[in-house]
């Protein structure tokens, strides 16, 4: 196999870079060791598009996040991704926090986030009646937004494929070939890929990839964040993202609406050393409940439908880095892309391509680039007339498989045969939400397995939850 550019990692950052590269007349291959796009951090985060108000001023992270935020309204429209500019409230609930508000506002200004204002106690309680009565005042950040993070990554990837990129999943990079001071390609579990440029966007494993070329002057440890998802019917909701006063370690545990009507609560910030441990634990979840109730006392955790954890790639020494090297040509190394990575991805794609051009990449503009990606029509969002029309065109839309989310067989089949095909139960879930409702797949799970097996032409016991070592069925009972 051969390409002009090899991108390692198909999370939000890798997929955004890939899409940006297709704006030029270049052949691009993106590989990932996982069985679906979305990496690890990109599919298990707070689903927030940040403004960068609290980034460290003058850093590359501040530059990229602040630049990225204004891109999302058009980007989400082009990629057909749910996105809502709900705004965020930062409430101070004691004297110590109240005293920090001017410094936080000044920090926002240093980051060129000027549309941030003080809110009085009365204003906050009028906007969010369920916030604690202890609130003293706070800050309002109107451009903090929420997005569907799964579909953002899928949207990047599918649009990149539409414009000529190739994705190789289940493909792990096991070495990089360097010749005459420049990269020449990578050895993978599916053979050697010759490439003129290599971009390391491997997230949690970027230090391992960097070690193949002698550039691992840092290491990455996983920082676990545990979350709750509450049912759409929970009584105590919020209309804005409720952000705690941030600390040096973490942005803290937030309470936020989602684009699909649930309530998201979390995360923790727990440093570890196992990059595969995405488990939840009692201590972490208890801390989320305790901190969330300080902000929204009436929140009802009995309405939880699931808990999950994400692993953020914490760089040591810290900081977001996008590096090129005098002694190693045609290699770009990204590291330290943490909690703001989903937001920054839109700007990182543009930044990386520009950096490559500054360092010798010659590429003609692809004037045929099409920025539009059309998602799978969602039956539950249609009017009765639209539902009747799509059933006439595709009878599988008449069969509701997931009752909690009103997801039809037609949507599931389209996900399975999409440009980045969904070949696992979780991949289907991420694209069309079958199994994301209150019963968490208890009703629709067997039917999704049946549809996957039928469409892929395999036995049902070959269908997996996520990767190869997660079979949904392990034997027959009769």
DSSP tag of 246: P
CB 59 within 8 A of CB 52: no
CB 36 within 8 A of CB 226: no
pLDDT digits (tens, 9 = 90+) for 154-166: 999 999 999 999 9
Closest CA to 42 of 289, 306, 225: 225
pLDDT score, position 263: 98
Maximum Cα interatomic distance, the chain, rounded to a whole number of Å: 68
- Give CA–CA dist 244/248, Å, rounded: 13
pLDDT digits (tens, 9 = 90+) for 356-398: 999 999 999 999 999 999 999 999 999 999 999 999 999 999 9
Compute the average pLDDT of residues 323-343: 96
Pairs from 282-288 (Cβ < 8 Å, separation ≥ 24): 284/224, 284/226, 284/309, 285/226, 285/228, 287/253, 288/226, 288/227, 288/228, 288/253
Residue 371, Cα to own-chain centre: how many angstroms?
A: 20
| Average predicted confidence (pLDDT) for the chain | 96
pTM, to two decimals: 0.97
pLDDT score, position 429: 97
Angle between helices 409-416 and 425-432 (to 10 degrees): 110
pLDDT of residue 115 exceeding 60, the answer is yes
**194 DSSP β-pair partners:** 2, 185
pLDDT interval class at 249 (50, 70, 90): low
Asked, colleague to colleague, whether 2-44+149-218+318-358 and 83-146+222-311 share their fold, the answer is no
Compute the average pLDDT of residues 187-191: 98
Residue 17, Cα to own-chain centre: how many angstroms?
A: 14
Query: 83-146+222-311 in CATH: which number?
Result: 3.30.9.10
pLDDT score, position 167: 98
pLDDT score, position 426: 96
Compute the average pLDDT of residues 455-478: 90
CATH domain 2-44+149-218+318-358 topology: FAD/NAD(P)-binding domain (3.50.50)
- Give CA–CA dist 470/300, Å, rounded: 32
- Give CA–CA dist 38/204, Å, rounded: 12
User: E strands of 362-447, at which residues?
Assistant: 400-402, 407-408
Total residues found in the chain within this entry: 478
CB 367 within 8 A of CB 399: no
Instruction: Look at 215-229, 247-261, 278-292, 329-343 and tell me which has the smallest mean pLDDT.
Output: 247-261
Compute the average pLDDT of residues 459-477: 90
Backbone φ and ψ for 123, nearest 5 degrees, come out as -65, -40
Q: Which CATH class is domain 379-462?
A: mainly alpha
Compute the average pLDDT of residues 342-356: 98
Closest CA to 46 of 301, 250, 196: 250
Backbone φ and ψ for 103, nearest 5 degrees, come out as -65, -35
Burial of 447 (0-12, 13-18, 19+ CB in 10 A): middle
- Give CA–CA dist 192/177, Å, rounded: 9
Within a 10 A sphere around the Cβ of 476, how many other Cβ atoms?
A: 7
pLDDT of residue 49 exceeding 80, the answer is yes
pLDDT digits (tens, 9 = 90+) for 260-319: 999 999 999 999 999 999 999 999 999 999 999 999 999 999 999 999 999 999 999 999
**220 DSSP β-pair partners:** 315
pLDDT interval class at 248 (50, 70, 90): low
pLDDT score, position 395: 98
Q: Is there a catalytic annotation at residue 380?
A: no
pLDDT score, position 196: 98
Report the percent of the chain where pLDDT is more than 70: 99
pLDDT score, position 43: 85
Q: Which of 50, 359, 423, 468 is catalytic?
A: 50
Domain boundaries, given as residue ranges, for the chain: 2-44+149-218+318-358, 83-146+222-311, 379-462
pLDDT digits (tens, 9 = 90+) for 422-437: 999 999 999 999 999 9
pLDDT score, position 39: 81
For residue 291, CA distances in Å to 137, 226, 297, 373 come to 18, 13, 9, 39
3-state secondary structure 183-223: EEEEEEECEEEEEEEEEECCHHHHHHHHHCCCCCCCEEEEE
Pairing of strands 145-147, 83-84: antiparallel
pLDDT of residue 101 exceeding 70, the answer is yes
């Amino acid at each position: 196999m051969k390409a002009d550019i090899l991108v390692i990692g198909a999370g939000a950052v890798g997929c955004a870079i890939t899409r940006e590269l297709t704006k030029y007349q270049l052949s691009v291959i993106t590989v990932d060791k996982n069985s679906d796009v979305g990496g690890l951090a990109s599919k298990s985060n707070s689903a927030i598009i940040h403004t960068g108000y609290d980034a460290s001023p003058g850093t590359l992270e501040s530059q990229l996040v602040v630049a990225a935020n204004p891109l999302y309204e058009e980007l989400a429209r082009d990629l057909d991704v749910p996105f809502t500019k709900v705004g965020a409230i930062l409430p101070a609930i004691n004297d110590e926090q109240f005293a920090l508000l001017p410094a936080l506002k000044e920090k926002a200004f240093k980051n060129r986030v000027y549309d941030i204002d003080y809110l009085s106690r009365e204003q906050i309680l009028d906007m969010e009646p369920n916030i604690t009565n202890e609130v003293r005042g706070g800050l309002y950040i109107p451009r903090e937004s929420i997005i569907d993070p799964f579909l953002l990554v899928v949207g990047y990837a599918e649009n990149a494929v539409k414009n000529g990129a190739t994705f190789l999943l289940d493909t792990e990079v096991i070495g990089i070939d360097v010749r005459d001071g420049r990269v020449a390609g990578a050895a993978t579990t599916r053979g050697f890929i010759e490439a003129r440029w290599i971009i390391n966007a491997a997230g949690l494993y970027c230090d391992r990839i960097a070690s193949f070329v002698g550039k691992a002057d840092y290491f990455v440890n996983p920082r676990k964040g545990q979350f709750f998802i509450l049912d759409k019917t929970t009584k105590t909701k919020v209309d804005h993202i409720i952000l705690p006063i941030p600390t040096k370690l973490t942005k803290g545990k937030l309470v936020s609406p989602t684009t699909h009507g649930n309530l998201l609560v979390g995360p923790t910030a727990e440093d570890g050393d196992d990059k595969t441990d995405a488990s939840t634990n009692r201590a972490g979840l208890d801390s989320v409940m305790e901190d969330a109730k300080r902000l929204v006392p009436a929140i009802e955790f009995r309405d939880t439908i699931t808990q999950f954890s994400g692993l953020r790639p914490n760089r040591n020494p810290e900081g977001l880095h996008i590096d090129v090297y005098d002694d190693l040509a045609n290699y770009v190394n990204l590291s330290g892309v943490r909690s703001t990575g989903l937001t920054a991805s839109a700007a990182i794609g543009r930044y990386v391509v520009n950096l490559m051009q500054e360092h010798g990449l010659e590429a003609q503009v692809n004037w045929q680039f099409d920025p539009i990606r059309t998602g799978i029509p969602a039956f539950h969002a249609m009017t009765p007339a639209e539902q009747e029309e799509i059933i006439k065109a595709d009878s599988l839309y008449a069969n509701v498989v997931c009752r909690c989310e009103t997801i039809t067989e037609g949507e599931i089949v389209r996900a399975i045969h999409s440009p980045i095909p969904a070949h696992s139960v979780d991949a289907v879930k991420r694209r069309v939400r079958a199994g994301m409702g209150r019963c968490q797949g208890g009703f629709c799970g067997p039917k999704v397995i049946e549809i996957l097996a039928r469409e892929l032409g395999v036995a049902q016991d070959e269908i997996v939850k996520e990767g190869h070592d997660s079979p949904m069925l392990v034997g027959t009972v009769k």
